[in-house]
C-alpha cells in the first residue's frame, strides 16, 4: 500500500486560492500514513487550471527525495524511496517557473506491515503439478482503500478466480474496496511445468488503490517453493504406450525379464544359440536324407 507523501502534501494546495500561495508555509494537521520499507508512488491532482505546470520538490528528513511537475490537468506523480518504520518529516516546495509560490510540510508515519500478504511461502508445488491455492491480503493501515486492483505475475502459468489473464504468466483483477482490518481471499491456480527447475520463486503482486482523491501503487511479493518431484513424467516413462492396469505392467516386466533374469543368459546370446541349434539340426537332417 502506498500513500504518497509528496502527493498528500500537494493535496493541501487544492484548498488554497492562488493568491494565498505566497502566504506563510502550511503545516498539514493530519499525519500521512505510508507502508514502511516500500517505495511510495502516487498521483495527486489539484483541481484548478492554475495548478497546471506547477513544479514540486520533495524532501524527507531534510534529504531531497523527488521532483515532479503537474500536467495540463494539474496532476502530479512523485515517488518516495522506502522509509524505515516510524515518524518522518516531509517538506515540499511548489514552484511556478523559477518562483517558489508555496511551502508545505507534514508528519509522515511509516508503518511496518501496513499491507499483509499471506501465507509466505504461498505453496509448495511439485514439478508437473497444477495446484489450487489461496492468497490472503489484509489492510492493516488506519485508512480505508477504494478501487483496489491487483496484478499478479508468476514465473510459470497462473490463473485466478474472477481475474483476467493479461498474458500466460500475468493475471489482473479488481477487489473493490478494502477497509481497515479487512482481509480478502484471492483464489489462484499454479501450473508448474514438469521440466521446471526446483527452487524458491517470487510471485509478484502489484496493488493499486485510491485514498481520498489520490491513487497509489504498492509492489509486494510472496514466494512459491517448487520441489524436484516430477509426477507423471517420471512415473510413466512410456507415455505413448501407457499400461491400463497393474497386472498389465507386471506382465510386461515379466516378459522382458523371463529370458534374461531367470536363465541368466542375455537375450542376444539366447537367440544366437537358438539359431545355431536350428542350423545344426537342419544340417543333420540333410546328411541323413543323403545317405538314404
Residue 250, pLDDT score: 31
Q: How many other CB atoms are there within 10 angstroms of residue 128's CB atom?
A: 18
For cell 509466505, the residue is 120
Whether residues 120 and 219 fall in one domain:
yes
d(CA 141, CA 209): 13
Whether residues 171 and 105 fall in one domain:
no
Whether residues 67 and 107 fall in one domain:
yes
Cα torsion angle, 280, 281, 284, 290, sign: negative
Whether residues 61 and 168 fall in one domain:
no
Looking at mean pLDDT, say which of 14-23, 87-96, 97-106, 132-141 comes out highest: 132-141
Q: For strands 183-191 and 158-160, give the pairing.
A: antiparallel
Whether residues 128 and 174 fall in one domain:
yes
- Is residue 100 assigned to a domain? yes
Looking at mean pLDDT, say which of 65-79, 203-217, 274-288 comes out highest: 203-217
Distances (CA, A) of 235 to 20, 191, 229, 231, 239: 76, 18, 10, 6, 9
Instruction: Kindly indicate the confidence band of residue 252, based on its pLDDT and cuts at 50, 70 and 90.
Output: very low
Domain boundary at 65, 90, 111, which? 111
**Could you give the residue ranges of the DSSP H alpha helices within the chain?**
5-11, 232-235, 246-263, 267-291
Q: What is the pLDDT of residues 39-90, one digit of tens each?
A: 777 666 665 666 777 888 888 899 998 888 887 777 777 777 888 999 999 8
**pTM higher than the cut 0.85:** no
CATH number at residue 91: 2.60.40.10
Structural domain including 208 reads 115-231
Domain boundary at 231, 254, 277, which? 231
Residue 141, pLDDT score: 84
- Is residue 274 assigned to a domain? no
Residue 273, pLDDT score: 64
Residue 78 pairs in a beta bridge with 42
Residue 192, pLDDT score: 96
Higher pLDDT, 150 or 11: 150
- Is residue 267 assigned to a domain? no
Q: What is the mean pLDDT of residues 114-131?
A: 94
Q: What is the pLDDT of residues 150-197, one digit of tens each?
A: 999 999 999 999 999 998 899 999 999 999 999 999 999 999 999 999
Instruction: Provide DSSP, 164-211.
Output: EEEETTEEEEEEEEE-TT-EEEEEEEEE--TTPPPEEEEEEEEEEEEE
d(CA 84, CA 88): 9
- Is residue 211 assigned to a domain? yes
Whether residues 57 and 17 fall in one domain:
yes
Higher pLDDT, 15 or 165: 165
Number of domains within the chain: 2
Amino acid at each position: 500500500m502506498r500513500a504518497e507523501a509528496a502527493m498528500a502534501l500537494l493535496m493541501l494546495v487544492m484548498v488554497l486560492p492562488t493568491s494565498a500561495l505566497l502566504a506563510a508555509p502550511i503545516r498539514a494537521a493530519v499525519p500521512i500514513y505510508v507502508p514502511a520499507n516500500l517505495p511510495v508512488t502516487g498521483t495527486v491532482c489539484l483541481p484548478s487550471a492554475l495548478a497546471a505546470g506547477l513544479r514540486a520538490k520533495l524532501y524527507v528528513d531534510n534529504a531531497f527525495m523527488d521532483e515532479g511537475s503537474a500536467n495540463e490537468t494539474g496532476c502530479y506523480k512523485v515517488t518516495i524511496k522506502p522509509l524505515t518504520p516510524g515518524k518522518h518529516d516531509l517538506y515540499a516546495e511548489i514552484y511556478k517557473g523559477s518562483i517558489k509560490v508555496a511551502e508545505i510540510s507534514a508528519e509522515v508515519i511509516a508503518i511496518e506491515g501496513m499491507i499483509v500478504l499471506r501465507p509466505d511461502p504461498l505453496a509448495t508445488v511439485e514439478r508437473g503439478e497444477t495446484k489450487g491455492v489461496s492468497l490472503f491480503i489484509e489492510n492493516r493501515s488506519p485508512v480505508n482503500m477504494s478501487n483496489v486492483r491487483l496484478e499478479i505475475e508468476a514465473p510459470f502459468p497462473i490463473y485466478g478466480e474472477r481475474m483476467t489473464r493479461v498474458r500466460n504468466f500475468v493475471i489482473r483483477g479488481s477487489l473493490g474496496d478494502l477497509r481497515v482490518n479487512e482481509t480478502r481471499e484471492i483464489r489462484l491456480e499454479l501450473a508448474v511445468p514438469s521440466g521446471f527447475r526446483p527452487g524458491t520463486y517470487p510471485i509478484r503482486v502489484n496493488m493499486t488503490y485510491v485514498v481520498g482523491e489520490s491513487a497509489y501503487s504498492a509492489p509486494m511479493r510472496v514466494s512459491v517453493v517448487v520441489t524436484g518431484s516430477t509426477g507423471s513424467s517420471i512415473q510413466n516413462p512410456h507415455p505413448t504406450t501407457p499400461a491400463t492396469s497393474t497386472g498389465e505392467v507386471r506382465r510386461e516386466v515379466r516378459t522382458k525379464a523371463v529370458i534374461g533374469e531367470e536363465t541368466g543368459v542375455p537375450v542376444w546370446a539366447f537367440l544366437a544359440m537358438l539359431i545355431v541349434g536350428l542350423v545344426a539340426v537342419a544340417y543333420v537332417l540333410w546328411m541323413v536324407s543323403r545317405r538314404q
